Amino acid sequence: MIHSSHAARELFTYLAYPFSAGREAVILFFILSGFVLSIPAINSRAQRYPVFITRRVFRIYFPYLVAIMAAVLAAQIFHGTETQSQWLNRPWSAPVTWRPVLQHLIFIGQYDAGQFDPPIWSLIYEMRISLLFPVLCAICLKLRPGLSLVMAVCLSAASIFVNNLFTAHGGWHSTIDTVHYAALFVVGIFLARQRHSISAIYRQLSWNKKLAIGLSSALIYVYAAVLWQGFIRRVTSYDLFNSGDWLTVMGAAGLIVFSLNSALLRRVLYWPPIHALGKMSYSVYLLHFIVILLLVHLFYGKIPLLLILMLCLVVAIIASSFFYRFVEIPFINLGRKLSGCF
Q: Give per-residue pLDDT as tens, 143-186.
A: 999 999 999 999 999 988 887 776 654 445 667 889 999 999 99
Instruction: Assess if residue 73 is contained within a domain.
Output: yes
How many folded domains does the chain comprise? 1
pLDDT of residue 170: 47
Q: In this prediction, what percent of the chain has a pLDDT beyond 70?
A: 88
- What confidence tens digit (pLDDT) does each residue in 243-283 have? 889 999 999 999 999 999 988 888 888 889 999 999 999 99
How far apart, in whole angstroms, are the C-alpha atoms of residue 298 and residue 59? 31
pLDDT of residue 58: 97
Label residue 114 by pLDDT band (50, 70, 90).
confident
Q: Could you count the other beta carbons within 10 Å of the beta carbon of residue 86?
A: 9
Q: In this prediction, what percent of the chain has a pLDDT beyond 90?
A: 60
If DSSP codes are grouped into helix, strand and coil, which group holds residue 118?
A: helix
Radius of gyration of the chain measured on its C-alpha atoms: 21
- The domain of 227 spans 23-339
Residue 193: C-alpha distances to residues 85, 189, 198, 254, 260 (Å): 45, 6, 10, 15, 14
CB 67 within 8 A of CB 286: yes
Phi, psi (5° rounding) for residue 303?
-135, 160
Burial of 236 (0-12, 13-18, 19+ CB in 10 A): exposed
Does residue 341 surpass a pLDDT of 50?
Answer: yes
Does residue 241 surpass a pLDDT of 80?
Answer: no
**Among 282, 214, 341, 289, residue whose Cα is nearest residue 36:** 282
pLDDT of residue 89: 79
Instruction: Assess if residue 280 is contained within a domain.
Output: yes
Label residue 237 by pLDDT band (50, 70, 90).
low
Instruction: Assess if residue 15 is contained within a domain.
Output: no
Q: Enumerate the H helices of the chain as residue ranges.
A: 2-16, 22-42, 49-56, 62-78, 86-89, 98-106, 121-142, 145-167, 173-193, 195-203, 207-219, 225-235, 245-260, 263-269, 272-279, 281-299, 305-323, 329-339
pLDDT of residue 107: 84
Across the range 279-292, mean pLDDT stands at: 95
Instruction: Assess if residue 168 is contained within a domain.
Output: yes
pLDDT of residue 142: 96
Does residue 102 surpass a pLDDT of 70?
Answer: yes
Label residue 5 by pLDDT band (50, 70, 90).
low
Longest dimension (CA), the chain: 71
Taking the model in full, what pTM does it have?
0.90
pLDDT of residue 4: 56
CB 71 within 8 A of CB 100: no
Instruction: Assess if residue 13 is contained within a domain.
Output: no
76 residue type, one letter: Q
Instruction: Assess if residue 84 is contained within a domain.
Output: yes
Burial of 91 (0-12, 13-18, 19+ CB in 10 A): buried
Instruction: Assess if residue 318 is contained within a domain.
Output: yes
Instruction: Assess if residue 325 is contained within a domain.
Output: yes
